[in-house]
Structures are given as C-alpha cells and as structure tokens.
Amino acid sequence: MIQRRLVLLFVLALGSLLLPLVVGAQPADNVLRYPINPDPEHLNPFTATTIAISTINRNIYEGLTGIDNETAQPVPALAESWTISDDQLTYTFKLRQGVLFHEMDGVVYDNGDREVKASDWVWSAHIHASPDEKVSSHPELMDNVVGIDEFRDGTAETIAGIKAVDDYTVEITLKQPDRLFFLQGPAGAVVVPQEAYEQLGENFNNRPVGTGPFRFVEWLRDDHITLEANPDYWAEGQPQLAGVRFINVPDANTALGMYRQDQLDFLWGFPTGQRTATIEEYQDEYREEPGLNVRYFGFKMNQGFFAENPLVRKAFAHAFNRELVWDELMEGARFPATLGYMPPSMPGSTPANIYNYDLDKAAALLEEAGFPGGEGIPPIDLYVFSSAADELSLPVFQEDLRKLGVTLNIKVEDASTYWTHIGEDDVLMFLSGWSAGVVDPSDVLNFLFMEGRDDTKYDNPQVNDLLRQAMSETDPAKLEDLYQQAHDLITADSPWVVSAYSKVAWLQKPWIENFNPGGGGTYTAPLKVVSIKQ
C-alpha cells in the first residue's frame, strides 16, 4: 500500500526520450514534466494498490466526491450535491449533468452517448464490490452497504442498497451509520465506463478511461506516460495545463542532474549523501511539510517463522537504530519513528508499547524466545523494492542483527513484481510504507491492521472490533480512546519494525504555481489547478 521504487546510470541518450525543450528555460508547451519511478504496475482503478498507480489515476478518474487535503472534508466531484437522511443511513447524490467520459480509440459508446449517468456509477460500484481479488482490490468500500452480503454470496445479482433513482440521482443505503463514509466508503469509488472495461479487455489495464481533468494519451514503459488536458472537463477553467508528462527517471542522481538542466519541473528525492548540499543549492525552490507516511519492515503474521515467534519480532524492533539512520546517515530525510505505528499528528499515535533502540534488551528477548545469541534462527530474507536498495537503513539493520547472531539477507526486487510478491507466503519480512490521505487514524489502521488486509496479514479480532466501533463513533474523546486501545494492542503484537515518519519535501521550479500537496505526499497535489507561468 506505500508505497513504494530505482537503480541505473545517467546517460545522455535519456534526453532524447523527453519532450523538446530549451535547457535552462521553462517549458513553452505548457506541459508539466513530472518525474516518476517506478512505472505503475498498471492503471486499472479497480485493482489499484500503490502510490505509483494513484499518482497517474487520480488525474484520470473521479468518484462522487473528493476529499479536501487540508480539512479532510468531502468536496463535490461527479456529484454536485448530496443529502443524508436523519438516521444517517441513506445518502442521496445529485450528479452533474453533461459530464462526459473520455474518448478512447477502440471504445464505442452506446448510441454515441459519453455522458455519465447514475447507472454508470452503479455498475462501477458493483465491480468495486467484487470479492474476487483479480477484479477488485478494495471491496471494503462497499462493506457497509445494505445487500452486500447477498451479492457476494451469490444469492442476489445486485446490491440492494445501491440504486440509480433516475439518470442523475444515486441512492446508497447503509447497514449502520458510518463516520468514514466519505473517507473510505462508497463516495470515493470512481466511475468507469462499462463500454471501456468490456471492449478493451486486458488492454483496459494500460489504457484508462475516466472523467477527470486529464485523459490518457500514451504509455511507453519505463520511459514516460503522457496525459493531455480533457477538453470536456466539467470544471470551468480547469485544467490550466495543456498536459502532464510523467517521466520515468531511473535514480535520484539522474533526477538531480535533469532538474539542474531544467528537464524536470520537480525533484522528489535527494541522492544519498547529497540532501543537505542540494537543499542549500536550491534554497528558494525547496518546500517541506510534515507528512502522513509511515515506513516499516513488516512481518508475515499468518504463517511462518515470525508468526510463530512473537518475542523475535519484538527483539528485531529493539534492534533497529532509527535515530542513526534518519537523523544522521540519511541527513534528516525522515523523522525516526520513535513512537508508534502512526504519524505523530494522528490522535492515539503514542501507544503503551515503545520499541526504543536497545541491543541488550533485544538479546534478552531472543534468549527468552529460545534463541540465545541468535542460535537456531534461520537466515532471514528481507525483501526490498529496488528504489530503496541504497537506503542506509538496510546495512544498519543488517549489522545490528549480526551483533545479535542473526543473518539478514537483503533481497532487492523490481517494483514490477515486488508489490504482488510480498503478499505471498514465501515472503516473511519486507520493507514497505503507507501514506494516509488525511489526519485520521482510520486511514492507517483500517487499511494496515484490519482483518488481514495488508501484506502482513495481521488479523486480531480485538483490534477488528475496536476499529469497527470507531467507524460509527462521533464523540472525539471516545473515538480517540478506541484508536488508542487498538494502537496499544497492535504494537503489543509487534507486526512491524517501524522505521520512520515522512517529511513531504521537494524542489519545484520557480515557474510552477498552485502545487499544493497534502501530508499524504506530493502525489496528492491536485494537478488540475497547477499552472506554469509563461
């Protein structure tokens, strides 16, 4: 879920892959030059799970509502207004009239009509709700809708609680009140044209068709993805850009070189050992905000060595020197995670169980677990995505575990397979991360620790019950207490070695205006309002 990327050399030939431009000047074609790495695995919104996919798709697809990055409140999107019944169970959305699906070669719309209707969203909602993981990666969006159980067990062909009242009215009825309806519920489920999904078949994964401010043009793997402004977009005056070119940059050194040559409009990361110097070089172009990402080493909790040895998990958590890595070696790139499993800005973010760096305590826990001096612990394979291969947390962790008698093998894997592979049974330990979109504990805990949803497969009935209670609790004090209890239980189980909390830090060229990311990361910035000074 963060995730989530890089290793090659800078070659001059890469310049030929970029849009024509004048070195040392802003782009004359009003096309944003946005670095990415890795390439997204695909662009199917129903099975999207990574930041790489979301970076592209959030500009192509829309739901009934969106979420304001700063206030975490719902804002109109495909629905221009909505009402909620007194019992908080029925939501009625009025769709905008005249919203059109993107044109796409190979897609023929019934009667040539591209206008989005309520029936289109209802069809999309049923795809989102599918229990088949090959069809949908987020069926939980519809978990609280009336009739979902009957739909999933095959006793009903449709979901009773989702209706198209007329062409421009959608009605959604819930089983119980849900505080998270707009954050993690049906309102955010994107609409997709049935014609594109069915007519494109497998090609739909690589040729997205939505309603958003930009439409898909081209994807050359490991090179670039091009979007152009949607000429039919419903919001007057948006987008302000002619397009966005997502340029796959192989590593941080290459990205910095391209940024210096004005071939990129942003720089998202800094080469190892060059962070401080780069920030000093570009003081006027440097931006920083507290982030909502948490980075961690995850243990597989449903089977295998770590699932069977909780004291070993706790020993590993005490054997990682976060302050050394992030404050010193990585030059303050992140905040060392010396508290809990959530960013410190979250309510309930300081649990009762804190795993400070303490090799003596780690050694004692290994002995208590029956592995004195690490004897009897098999060599551990830690899987790492390729863009993190040079992260200095890895040799530091490896060396501290060596002092405890534990061998840690670093297994670097390309992002094209990594995010699928780490969910499989042969991976017992892996590097990952998660970026919440808003300052709400549910945006971390519900996705990573509820009912085995994340790659750790963590599933604690007590935690599940507390998180379910929190979904309908509106009293702030009671809500924080529920999250605090859940956080305490999770950290007591120690399914992670938590590593760091993020800083949202980047460079942007002086001609870029209105680029405003939230704490979830730079990828959350709405590009439809970004402009380039000419």
Output the domain CATH number for residue 459.
3.10.105.10
pLDDT at 19: 36
Predicted local distance difference test score (pLDDT) of residue 219: 98
308 and 376 in a common domain: yes
Mean pLDDT across the chain: 93
Return the structure tokens found at 183: 């954050």
Q: Is there a single domain that holds both residue 153 and residue 188?
A: yes
Residue 130: CATH number of its domain: 3.90.76.10
Looking at 199, 220, 246, the residue that finishes a domain is 199
Crossing angle (nearest 10°) for helices 461-472 and 476-493:
160
Where does 85-213 show beta strands of DSSP type E?
A: 90-95, 162-166, 169-173
Does residue 312 contact residue 526 with C-beta atoms inside 8 Å? no
Q: Quick check: is 278 in a domain? A: no
Same domain, 49 and 86: no
Q: What is the pLDDT of residues 209-264, one digit of tens each?
A: 999 999 999 999 999 999 999 999 999 999 999 999 999 999 999 999 999 999 99
Q: Is residue 275 part of a domain?
A: no
- Compute CA distances 423 → 89, 239, 432, 455, whole Å: 35, 37, 11, 5
**CB contact at 8 A, 153 and 159:** no
Buried b / exposed e along 59-74 (16+ C-beta atoms within 10 A): bbbbbbbbbebeebeb
* 42 and 106 fall within a common domain: no
Asked whether residue 301 falls in the same domain as residue 420, the answer is yes
Give pLDDT < 50 ranges for the chain: 1-24
Q: What is the largest CA-CA distance in the chain?
A: 73
Residues 479 and 398 grouped into a single domain: yes
226 plus 348 within the same structural domain = no
Query: Phi and psi for 142 in degrees, rounded to 5?
Result: -110, 10
Same domain, 193 and 324: no
Domain encompassing residue 295? 290-503
Q: What is the pLDDT of residue 518?
A: 82
Pairing of strands 512-513, 531-532: antiparallel
Quick check: is 442 in a domain? yes
Residue 255 lies in a domain: yes
Residues 17 and 78 in one domain: no
CATH of the domain at 525: 3.40.190.10
Q: What does the pLDDT read at residue 308?
A: 98
| Residue 439 belongs to a domain | yes
Q: Are 8 and 512 in contact (CB under 8 A)?
A: no
For 435-453, how does the pLDDT look when each residue is reduced to its tens digit (9 = 90+)? 888 889 999 999 999 999 8
Residue 174: count other Cβ atoms within 10 Å of its Cβ: 22
Give me the pLDDT at residue 69, please. 79
Give the model's pLDDT for residue 379.
98
Residue 231 lies in a domain: yes
Compute the distance between CA of residue 83 and CA of residue 94 in angstroms, rounded to an integer: 9
Same domain, 362 and 223: no
Q: What percent of the chain has pLDDT over 90?
A: 87
Residue 359: which H helix or E strand, with range? helix 359-368
* Residues 278, 271 contacting (CB under 8 angstroms): yes
Structurally, how many domains does the chain consist of? 3
204 in a domain, yes or no? no
389 belongs to a structural domain:
yes
Say whether both 418 and 479 belong to one domain. Answer: yes
Kindly state whether residues 460 and 420 are assigned to the same domain. yes
Rounded Cα distance between 286 and 299, Å, is: 36
Q: What is the pLDDT of residues 52-65, one digit of tens each?
A: 999 999 999 999 99
For residues 214 and 227, the answer to whether their CB atoms sit within 8 Å is yes
The torsion angles phi and psi of 48, rounded to 5 degrees, stand at: -75, 135
